[in-house]
Chains A and B, each alone.
Chain A
Amino acid sequence: MVSNSSYSHRSRLENTITIGQRISGWPKENTVRGRYYLSQVLLQQAEVKKSLSDRVDGLKMEEASKQDLDGLLKLDDSDIATKHRGDLPMLFDYLVHWENRLVTPRKAIVPATSVAACAIQTNGTGVMEDTVAALNERNQAAFNSNINRVLKVHAHETDERVDLPIESVI
């Protein structure tokens, strides 16, 4: 049985997209992003209901949104498309206003060991040592914050099974 909430996601998405397209100022990027998520809802429903028609509709919609995504990303000068290739939630969010995004990229964390190695190499130059120590401290703080978030997410998962895109965690 499909839960009522799956229908409410679907109908909310469908209604919002339909109304949005009618109003002035609604960017087509919002529609493209909305349709991608709608396709994912359809595919999830298809899996649960074993419905071939939902699966076909979902796949068609997903393909169309990916094509729109590719087309729209061509308007961009940055390397986002190659840097985050395959991370669809990140890329679809990139299309829209930054304040509407739900996925923000995260800075790569330099492993503490490589920073320590750097400290040994620069031993003897006081200024560099200070910089490295500060870097180390910052990275440790970032690492702790990250671990806390991962733990929080996992704690969350135990009662409601959150399905997080990996990039939003790391």
Chain B
Amino acid sequence: MSQLGQCRLAQRDGMGTNQRYLAMHGSNRKAMLIRLNEHPEERQATLDNVIRLLRSQFPPPSPLQIANMEVWPRLTKVLPHVISALHAFERAWPRMPGSMLFAKLISDVSGMDLYDRGLISEAYKLNSAVVSMLDSLQHPLETPLRGDALTILGLCTDNMAITKRREGLAIRRKCLDVRQRCFKAIPPEKVTLDDKIRLYNSYTDLVCSQQQINDFEGVQENLALCFEQYKIWGPEDDITLAYEYAKYYNQISYVLLWENRGDEAVAYSDKAYALIEKASPGTGLSRVYLSDYAHILFQNGDRREARSVLETLYEISERECGKDNLRTLEISLNMAIMDFLMGDFVNVR
């Protein structure tokens, strides 16, 4: 490093502040990585160091995969480094074995918080890498980390629309199998509420795939299974369960709409938003639930009110996630479609 510094190929910056960093040209970095390939032991030690440093900057997030807006600044800081470390790892030759620590770091960084902010392709790529790494390390199917990665992968496929719908369903079925195996592997006396929540989360995830294909009867069946459990675990005003109940009310509202019970659908969707705001305030998921509420309201005939909710949501999303963010753009598209469906054209004519 000192040699690079002397040759002015690398520069230390931000000294004396808490934002110290090392700047160097990308081609130098690539050259160093190629050179490291000639020294596999040194290369492994370097990667371990990178993992250790990044881990210290990014403690594990919610084990229940609940998004938390306070995680976002930390995530923004480590995400480019994790992507860069993964690229280096994938391009290393001879191949590197990977490690559970690395897989866990990638999974944590690309978990619900990354998905929540609409960084779908990044989340998809990183979680696919986690699954591949676990496979290459020959970890058993019932590895909890595999279930976490598959959960996020499934959610990503929802956003990737019809092209990935079949894959999404297969991922969710696999995830349910993994989580069932994980659950069975825990001695009954050691089963916690968190373990049960993780298992039933895979049912609500499977429901997302059923919603995609308008299988409302299947949705209803699986949600009833979950709802019975939630009631056993505790009431919906229990903060630890609000997130689970929110998912139930949000998803069942689409079933109610299908059953021609629009007013109830609106009421349930509204309830889902109130609960998710309690459990996971200010997150992208909370905005998604508000957007769902607007969509259901629109389909139940309260079109002006629905449009107004979506407009408020657009302003928030633009401010918090940016104009070019996937979620912001999807809201914008639906606002335009709502405008068209509400049409001034008839009056014009």
Contacts and interface: CB of A to CB of B under 8 A. Distances in A.
Interface of A: 1-3, 5-6, 8-9, 12-13, 15-17, 19-20, 22-30, 33-34, 37, 40-41, 44, 47-48, 72-73, 75-78, 80, 89, 94-107, 109, 141-143, 145-146, 148-149, 152-153, 156, 160-164, 168
Interface residues of B, number: 61
Contact of B339 (A8, A96, A164): A8
18 contacts: A2-B348, A3-B344, A5-B339, A6-B344, A12-B336, A13-B336, A24-B122, A25-B122, A30-B329, A73-B162, A96-B161, A97-B158, A99-B295, A102-B341, A104-B254, A148-B263, A153-B301, A163-B341
B191 interface: no
Interface of B: 118-122, 158-163, 165-166, 208, 211-214, 216, 254, 257-263, 288, 291-292, 295, 298-303, 323-326, 329-330, 332-349
Contacts of A141: 261
Contacts of B216: 107
A89 B298 CA distance: 14
A78 to B, nearest CB: 5
A22 B299 CA distance: 30
A48 B119 contact: no
A20 to B, nearest CB: 5
Contact of B214 (A25, A80, A143): A80
B155 to A, nearest CB: 10
The 5 closest A-B pairs by CB, nearest first: A29-B161, A25-B120, A161-B346, A27-B161, A12-B336
Contact of A12 (B166, B332, B349): B332
Nearest to A163: B343
A23 B332 CA distance: 14
Contacts of B122: 24-25
A25 B339 CA distance: 25
B348 A25 contact: no
Contacts of A6: 344-345, 348
Nearest to B345: A44
B262 A145 contact: yes
Given A16-B332, A19-B324, A25-B326, 7 more contacts: A13-B336, A19-B329, A22-B324, A34-B337, A107-B216, A149-B262, A163-B346
Contact of A23 (B159, B302, B324): B324
A103 B292 CA distance: 12
A115 B268 CA distance: 29
A89 to B, nearest CB: 8
A41 B340 contact: yes
Nearest to B214: A105
A112 to B, nearest CB: 14
Nearest to A146: B260
A75 B118 CA distance: 24
A26 B166 CA distance: 18
Nearest to B209: A98
